[in-house]
Amino acid sequence: MAQFTVSLIIDGDTFEVSGGWKWEGQSGTRVRPTGFDAPELHAAGGQAAKEKLTRLILGEQVDLRTAHKVDRGRLVCDVYFKGKYLADYFPAYK
């Protein structure tokens, strides 16, 4: 797809991008990366996962690549940061 700037971290595996994405007639700002599933905010480790994602990509450019679907308003796609698959930064959640 293209490069986007991360504008908000929702939790450990959902974030928003500025400018928004468009895919197959749908559009939005929320992204759910493929390849890992961080704990929910209310679960053990959830806040730590959000903090790690925040430190890593908030305000940074990410590449949104192969999109798979839109789920609950989030584009589920392969995300890369500095050329590396985002899920590889979170091996504990694979």
- pLDDT (tens digit, 9 = 90+) per residue, 57-93? 999 999 999 999 999 999 999 999 999 999 999 999 9
Please report, for the chain, the start and end positions of each structural domain, with discontinuous segments joined by +.
Answer: 2-83
Q: Read off the pTM.
A: 0.96
Its sign, for the CA torsion 35, 40, 18, 52, is negative
Interval 2-19: pLDDT, tens: 999 999 999 999 999 999
State how far the Cα of 70 lies from the Cα of 20, in Å rounded to an integer: 13
2-83 has CATH 2.40.50.90 classification = yes
